[in-house]
Structure 1
Amino acid sequence: MAHAQLLISYGQAFVAPERRQHRSSMSVRLPEAPLLKVKGGCAVISDSISRNTMAKQAGDLSVRGFLADYYSTPEHWDTKTSATRVLRALNSWCYSQSQHVKEGGFVSSLSAMVFLGREGHLFHMGDTLVFRLRGAEFEQLTRDHVTDVGGYRYPSRALGMDGSVDIDYTHLALKQGDLFVFTTQAVRGTLMPSDYVRLIRQDASDLDAACERLASEAKQRAQERGYGGDQFCFQLLRIDELPEEETDHPGMLYGDLPIPPELAPGERLDGLEVQAVLSRNAQSRVYRVRDVHSDRVMVMKAPSPELSLRNAYLEHFLLQQWVVERVNSPFVVKVMEPSRPRRYLYYLMQNVEGETLRQWAERHPQASLVQRLDIANQLGKAVQALHHRDIIHQQVMPDNVLIDQHGKVVLADFSACHMREVDGHRHSGELLRQIGFNEHTAPEYALGDSVGRRSDQYSLASTVYWLLTGELPYTLTPNKLRCHTDLEELSYRSARTTNPEITPALDEALRRALDPQRPLRFRRMSEFLHALRIPLGRMPQREEPRTESRRFWQGVAGILLLLLVLSWLLR
Structure 2
Amino acid sequence: MIPVQLSLSYGQAFVAPDRRRHRSSMAVRFPEPPLLAAKGACAMISDSTLRNNLAKQAGDLSVKGFLADYFATPDHWDVKTSATRVLRALNAWCFSQNRQLSDGSYVSSLSAMVFHGRQAHLFHMGDTLVFRLRGAEFEQLSRDHVTDLGGYRYPSRAMGMDSGLEIDYINVPLKQGDIFLFTTQVIQGTLMPSDYVRLIREDVSDLDAACERLAAAARERAQERGYGGDQFCFQLVRIDALPDEASQEKPGRVYGDLPIPPELSPGDHLDGLEVLSVLSRTAQSRVYHVRDRHCGREMVMKAPSPELSNRNAYLEHFLLQQWVVERVKSPFVVRIMEPSRPRRFLYYLMAHVRGETLTEWARRHPQASLEQRLDIANQLGKAVQALHHRDLLHQRIHPDNVLIDAHGQVVLADFSACHLRDVDGHRRSRSLVRQLGLTEHSAPEYALEDDVGRRSDQYSLASTTYWLLTGELPYALAPNRLRSHTDLEQLAYRSARTLNPEVPVALDDALRRALDPQRALRFRRMSEFRRALRPPRDGARMGGQAGTQAPREPARFWQGIAGILLLLLVLSWLLR
> How many angstroms apart in 2 are the aligned matches of 1:3 and 1:211?
32
Does the residue aligned with 2:127 lie in a helix, a strand or coil? coil
2:118 counterpart residue number: 118
Question: What are structure 1's unaligned runs of at least 5 residues?
Answer: 544-571
Change (3 A) 1:531 1:19: closer
Alignment map for 1:401-480 (pairs within 5 Å):
401-421=402-422, 425-480=426-481
> How many angstroms apart in 2 are the aligned matches of 1:397 and 1:126?
42
Residues 307-316 or 407-416, more deviating: 307-316
Matched, 1:206 2:222: no
Matched, 1:533 2:534: yes
> How many angstroms apart in 1 are the aligned matches of 2:470 and 2:331?
27
1:506 counterpart residue number: 507
Matched, 1:279 2:287: no
> How many angstroms apart in 2 are the aligned matches of 1:19 and 1:314?
47
> How many angstroms apart in 1 are the aligned matches of 2:139 and 2:307?
50
Q: Aligned letter for 1:520?
A: L
> How many angstroms apart in 1 are the aligned matches of 2:90 and 2:41?
20
Q: Aligned letter for 2:100?
A: H
Report how far residue 335 of structure 1 moved: 0.5
**1:389-423: CA deviation from partner (whole Å, max 9, x where unpaired):** 22111111011111122222111111111222367
Residues 151-160 or 107-116, more deviating: 151-160
Residues 434-443 or 250-259, more deviating: 250-259
Q: Is the 8 A contact 2:459 2:514 kept in 1?
A: yes
Matched, 1:378 2:379: yes
Q: Is the 8 A contact 1:159 1:165 kept in 2?
A: yes
> How many angstroms apart in 1 are the aligned matches of 2:541 and 2:532?
16
Change (3 A) 1:466 1:100: same
Residues 5-14 or 56-65, more deviating: 5-14
Q: Is the 8 A contact 1:257 1:344 kept in 2?
A: yes
Change (3 A) 1:367 1:53: closer
Does the residue aligned with 1:430 lie in a helix, a strand or coil? helix
Q: Aligned letter for 1:134?
A: R
Matched, 1:296 2:288: no
| TM-score normalised by structure 1 residue count | 0.89
Q: Is the 8 A contact 1:424 1:450 kept in 2?
A: no
Q: Is the 8 A contact 2:117 2:248 kept in 1?
A: no
1:566 counterpart residue number: none
Change (3 A) 1:510 1:52: same
> How many angstroms apart in 2 are the aligned matches of 1:528 and 1:395?
18
2:362 counterpart residue number: 361
**1:196-246: CA deviation from partner (whole Å, max 9, x where unpaired):** 111111111111111111112222223333322223211011122334444
Alignment map for 1:128-207 (pairs within 5 Å):
128-207=128-207
Residues 493-502 or 31-40, more deviating: 31-40
Does the residue aligned with 2:223 lie in a helix, a strand or coil? helix
Q: Is the 8 A contact 2:502 2:542 kept in 1?
A: no
Q: Is the 8 A contact 1:424 1:451 kept in 2?
A: no
Q: Is the 8 A contact 2:502 2:543 kept in 1?
A: no
> How many angstroms apart in 2 are the aligned matches of 1:444 and 1:25?
43
**1:113-160: CA deviation from partner (whole Å, max 9, x where unpaired):** 122333322211122111111222222222222234444432233111
| TM-score normalised by structure 2 residue count | 0.89
Q: Is the 8 A contact 2:74 2:252 kept in 1?
A: no
1:232 counterpart residue number: 232
Alignment map for 1:35-114 (pairs within 5 Å):
35-114=35-114
How well do the aligned residues superpose, as a CA RMSD in angstroms?
2.4
> How many angstroms apart in 2 are the aligned matches of 1:446 and 1:21?
52
> How many angstroms apart in 1 are the aligned matches of 2:441 and 2:372?
21
Alignment map for 1:481-560 (pairs within 5 Å):
481-535=482-536
Does the residue aligned with 1:298 lie in a helix, a strand or coil? strand
1:307 counterpart residue number: 308
1:341 counterpart residue number: 342
> How many angstroms apart in 1 are the aligned matches of 2:365 and 2:133?
71
Among the aligned pairs, what percent are the same residue?
75
Q: Is the 8 A contact 1:42 1:112 kept in 2?
A: yes
Q: Aligned letter for 2:305?
A: S
Count of matched residue pairs: 543
Q: Is the 8 A contact 2:181 2:236 kept in 1?
A: yes
Residues 466-475 or 76-85, more deviating: 76-85
Q: Aligned letter for 1:94?
A: C
Residues 88-97 or 172-181, more deviating: 172-181
2:3 counterpart residue number: 3
Q: Is the 8 A contact 2:4 2:242 kept in 1?
A: yes
Report how far residue 456 of structure 1 moved: 1.1
Question: What are structure 2's unaligned runs of at least 5 residues?
Answer: 545-576
Change (3 A) 1:283 1:53: same
Q: Aligned letter for 2:517?
A: P
> How many angstroms apart in 2 are the aligned matches of 1:433 and 1:541?
39
Q: Aligned letter for 2:265?
A: A
Does the residue aligned with 2:492 lie in a helix, a strand or coil? coil
Q: Is the 8 A contact 2:46 2:108 kept in 1?
A: yes
Q: Aligned letter for 1:201?
A: R
